Structure 1
C-alpha cells in the first residue's frame, strides 16, 4: 500500500512577487454552506472512543479512547459547497465544534476518478472553513493512493472538503461552433496564519505567463491559443455536427517550492455542442442531446410559458414561467414565487423523480434548493443552466432518495 505523508512549504504573506505573478495576499474567504436536507448523521460516543461515517465511507471520523471525558454527540452533515475553485467533492460539517478534545481525532475523506477529472492525486489536499468563513489547510496530511483517501489528524471540527492545488477554469463550459472561451489556471497556495500556527491559510492566485510551460489540447477537436497574461483562448471548430468533449491541459513550473523541479499539471473539459442542445449530469452520468431529441412547445395557450423536454427515453423537461432573463426556483407553477418546473423519469421506469418531496406521513410539500437560470432570450432562442436536487417521491413512503442534477441548455422556439 502506497502511503504518502505531505507537509506543506508555506508561501508567507509579504513574499515578493515574481514578474507577472498575481498571487493574492488575502486568505480565501467565502460564505458558509447551508445544511442539506436528509443528510444528517448522528452518533453518541463516550470516553472509550468510537467512529462515525457517511454511508459508503466517503468521510469517516475515528475518535481514539480518552479523547473525550463524557458521552458526547457527534454529527456529520453535508452542506452546500461554497468553496468554489479547486473543490473536488462535497463539503461536510463536523460537530461538535467547540469541544476540547484530549487527543487528535482522525478524519479521512475518499476520492475517485470522477472527482479527479484528470487532476493529479499528488496535488490533493484537505481544507476546513472556520466560523468566520476563512479556509485553512492542515500542515500535514497522509495521502493513501492505494485506498484513494486523504487522512488528517486534528482537534478542529468545522466544514471540511477535498481540493486540488491547481485547477483550471473555462469561461464557458459548453460552446458551439466559433464560440471561443477564455481558460485560466488558479493555484491555491498557503500562507502563515499568525493566529493559528498549527495550520495554514489558503491563498488563491491566477496563474500568469511567467510560470506557464505549456497550454495544449490533449483530446477532442479545437485549438488553444496562449495569451500574454497567462490565460489561453479555446477556439472550437467552425462546424459542430454532434456533441464532443475537448480536454485542455496546462503545465506550469512549480515555483511554490524552489527545491522542487517538477511541474503542476491541470486539466479542464469543454463540451462542444450543436446550435441547439440540452446537456446535464445526473446520478454520476453525463448526457448531451441535440435538436433531434428536443421537443419545444408552450405550456399555455397565450404562449407566455415556453416548455421543452428531451425525448427518446430520457424524459427531462423544463417549463419557464416568464419570458425574461433571471433565476427561477423549482416549484409549483401556480405558486406566487415559483417560476420553473423540472421533472425527471429515467433509469427506473415507473419511479417518478421530482423537484419536491412530501414530509413523511404529512400533506405538506417541500421544494429542494434548486433553480433554473435563464441567461438569454433572443430571436426565439432560450439559453441557461439549471442545478439542484431531485427526489424519488413515493407518496406514502418515509424514505426519500435524492440525486443532484445540473446542466445547461440552448433551445429554439417557433413564434
Structure 2
C-alpha cells in the first residue's frame, strides 16, 4: 500500500514539473516528419572561379541586323548564327579569339561583343572539332560553356553533336566569352616524346561520370568545378609499341627505344559506371625526335633534325635537311595555318614529295611503268597542331626511285614517314 501511495505521489510531482516547464500550453511533442527517412541533401556545386581570357589573334567584325546572319572566327572553328528577328536594329558583332581559361577547354576561347548583348530569339554557337579530337573521346563528353560575371564557366544544356560534320552546337540568348570543352579527358590528350622516354597520363573530369549518362536539356545550365582525378577506370591498353606501367587513374607510358612501326601510339583508358563500360578515352603520343623521320624501301629510318613547316598561304610545305639528304613535301589547302590539317592523297602537282638521299637519287610520289607516269597510292596526313607544332604521317606505297646516272636507273620503291615540325610562319 505504501508503494502504491509513493508511486502516485511521484507521478503527480512529474506532471506538475512538466506543466511548469511547458510555456503557456505550447505542445512540446516533436513533429512527425513527412518523410521518416529523407535522402541527404544534394550539395550545390558552386563552380570554380577562373581568370578572364586575354585577346589573341585577329577579331572579325560584321554588322548584323533584323534579317539575321552569321559570323565566323578567323580560325574558321567557331561560328555564331543569329536568326531573323533576334535583333531589332543593326549591331556591330565581333568574335575575338582569347586564351582559354576553362581548365577542360579545347583550343582557344572566343569573346563575343557587344558583351551582354541580348537576343529576342536564341542564337546558335557552333564549334568544329577535328576527326582526331573526335577519336580521342566520345560525343557525350563534348560541351560548350560561357563565363559568367563571377568568373565561373557555365555549361549549357541541349548540346547537339553532329558526328558526320564534326560540329558541336548550343543555343544561347546573350553574348560573353565562350569555350569548347570536354567533361572527361586524359592529360595529355596529345603529346610527343623522344624514343625511350616516358610520359605520365592521368584521367580528369568535371563531375560524376553520371553527368554524361543523364539528360541535360536545353535551357539548363551547370557550373563547372575544377577538374579532378577520377578512378572509374576499367583498364588501360596500348595500341602500338611500348607499355603502360601502373594502374588506376594515373599511369605511365614507356615508349620503345627506337621509332615504333606505328606512329602515333595511342593509350586507351576504358571507363565504367557503375559496373559497365561506358566509353573509351585516348591519349595520342607521337614517338619521334623533333623533325621529320622517313623510311625508304623498308630500310633504315633517316631523321631530319633540321626541319620546318610553312603553313601560311594556299601551298603548305614541310622541308627537312640532314647533311646532303633533303626531303620536301608540298600540299594545297586554305590560306590559314590550321587549314593544313587533313588527309591529302598524292597528285601530279600538289600534294607531292621529293626525297633526295644523295645528290643523284630521288624518290617521288610519281612512278614509271612502260614509260607512263602514274601517281602513287598513299597520302600526307596532317593530323594535329599544338603550340605551333604540326604532327602527322605520310606514306607513298609505290614511290618512283630515279638515279641520275648514265644510263639512268628507274625503279619502284616505297616511302613512309612521320613528322613533328615547328611552323615557321604561323606567328608573325
TM bin (shorter chain): 0.5 to 0.7
Q: Which residue of the other structure, out of 287, 290, 297, is the alignment partner of 1:278?
A: 290
Contact kept, 8 Å, 2:61 with 2:94, in 1: the verdict is: yes
Give the structure 1 partner of residue 145 of structure 2. Answer: 127
| More helix per residue | 2
Q: In the alignment, is residue 145 of structure 1 matched against residue 163 of structure 2?
A: yes
Contact kept, 8 Å, 2:125 with 2:169, in 1: the verdict is: yes
How much has 1:131 moved relative to structure 2? Answer: 4.5
Listed one character per residue, the Cα deviations across residues 353-402 of structure 1 (whole Å, up to 9, x for unaligned) are: xxxxxxxxxxxxxxxxx999xxxxxxxxxxxx998x854xxxxxxxxxxx
Give the structure 2 partner of residue 68 of structure 1. Answer: 87
User: Aligned equivalents of 2:49 and 2:286: distance in 1?
Assistant: 30
Distance of aligned partners of 1:141 and 1:208 in 2 relative to their CA distance in 1, 3 Å threshold: closer
Give the structure 1 partner of residue 120 of structure 2. Answer: 102
Contact kept, 8 Å, 1:104 with 1:153, in 2: the verdict is: yes
Distance of aligned partners of 1:294 and 1:144 in 2 relative to their CA distance in 1, 3 Å threshold: closer
How much has 1:262 moved relative to structure 2? Answer: 4.8
SS in 2 for 1:89: strand
Give the structure 2 partner of residue 162 of structure 1. Answer: 180
Distance of aligned partners of 1:89 and 1:288 in 2 relative to their CA distance in 1, 3 Å threshold: farther
Question: What does 1:319-358 correspond to in 2, within 5 Å?
Answer: none
SS in 2 for 1:186: strand
SS in 1 for 2:102: coil
What is the TM-score when the length of structure 2 is the normalising length?
0.54
Contact kept, 8 Å, 1:172 with 1:182, in 2: the verdict is: no
Give the structure 2 partner of residue 200 of structure 1. Answer: 222
Question: What does 1:309-388 correspond to in 2, within 5 Å?
Answer: 311=322, 312-313=326-327
Q: In the alignment, is residue 248 of structure 1 matched against residue 248 of structure 2?
A: no
User: Aligned equivalents of 1:35 and 1:139: distance in 2?
Assistant: 27
Which segments of structure 1 move beyond 6 Å, counting only runs of 4 or more? none
Larger radius of gyration: 2
Contact kept, 8 Å, 1:181 with 1:235, in 2: the verdict is: yes
User: Aligned equivalents of 2:321 and 2:273: distance in 1?
Assistant: 46
Listed one character per residue, the Cα deviations across residues 147-200 of structure 1 (whole Å, up to 9, x for unaligned) are: 322221111312223222221114993334553322111113389xxxxx9411
SS in 2 for 1:88: strand
Listed one character per residue, the Cα deviations across residues 206-225 of structure 1 (whole Å, up to 9, x for unaligned) are: 3443x1111111x2111113
Q: In the alignment, is residue 232 of structure 1 matched against residue 244 of structure 2?
A: no
Distance of aligned partners of 1:246 and 1:386 in 2 relative to their CA distance in 1, 3 Å threshold: closer
Higher relative contact order (CA 8 A, sep 6+): 1
Give the structure 1 partner of residue 236 of structure 2. Answer: 215
Distance of aligned partners of 1:261 and 1:271 in 2 relative to their CA distance in 1, 3 Å threshold: same
Give the structure 2 partner of residue 82 of structure 1. Answer: 101
Listed one character per residue, the Cα deviations across residues 83-109 of structure 1 (whole Å, up to 9, x for unaligned) are: 344x33332211112223222212222
User: Aligned equivalents of 1:29 and 1:42: distance in 2?
Assistant: 29
List gaps (5 residues or longer) in structure 2: 1-40, 212-218, 295-300, 308-319, 330-350, 353-386, 390-419
Contact kept, 8 Å, 2:240 with 2:260, in 1: the verdict is: no
Count the aligned residue pairs: 275
Give the structure 1 partner of residue 362 of structure 2. Answer: none
Give the structure 1 partner of residue 52 of structure 2. Answer: 32
Q: In the alignment, is residue 42 of structure 1 matched against residue 61 of structure 2?
A: yes
Q: In the alignment, is residue 268 of structure 1 matched against residue 283 of structure 2?
A: yes
Q: In the alignment, is residue 175 of structure 1 matched against residue 193 of structure 2?
A: yes
Distance of aligned partners of 1:103 and 1:183 in 2 relative to their CA distance in 1, 3 Å threshold: same
Cα root mean square deviation, aligned: 4.0
Contact kept, 8 Å, 1:184 with 1:206, in 2: the verdict is: no
User: Aligned equivalents of 2:257 and 2:167: distance in 1?
Assistant: 43
SS in 2 for 1:36: coil
How much has 1:55 moved relative to structure 2? Answer: 6.1
User: Aligned equivalents of 2:304 and 2:152: distance in 1?
Assistant: 45
